[in-house]
Amino acid sequence: MNAVHRAILRVSCGRVGRRVAGMTVLELVTTGRKSGQARAVMLTSPLTDGEAYVVVASRGGDDRHPAWFLNLRDDPRVQVSVQTGPRQPMVASIATPDERARLWPQVVRQYRNYAAYQRRTEREIPLVLLRPA
């Protein structure tokens, strides 16, 4: 889906695909924890918290964390392109228990799919905050 989404953005010159289900679309670039190579993934941000974009490491309710989450956990220096804009250096942080307790209800109130994903897995789905570097 990432390749398809990028193609739609490119072909439409960013006019189509900048928002999905009311959520901001962003491209997150992490450094591969094993390869050391740049790894890009298209994600949605269901909300912002001040200057931070909040992304959900749900992987559709899978029992494993997504690779992008493992990458930024090991190296929080990332680049983010919001709605086809230029890549900006940002710092990723995994929400603290207090932040998650405050933000998770907002996420699932607006986007119920995330609650369904949480019910599918025993792991606590992390929230990640992406803040300007």
- The 10s digit of each residue's pLDDT in 76-118 is 999 999 877 899 999 999 999 999 999 999 999 999 999 999 9
Of residues 89 and 20, more confidently modeled: 89
Domains of the chain: 2-132 (2.30.110.10)
Distance CA 133, CA 129 (A): 12
> How many degrees, rounded to 5, is the angle at CA 75 between CA 14 and CA 54?
45
3-12, 42-51, 81-90 — which is least confidently predicted? 3-12
pTM of the model: 0.85
Q: Which long-range contacts (CB under 8 A, 24 or more apart) does 16-21 make?
A: 18/83, 18/84, 19/83, 20/44, 21/111
Specify burial of residue 132 (Cβ count, 10 A radius: 0-12, 13-18, 19+): exposed
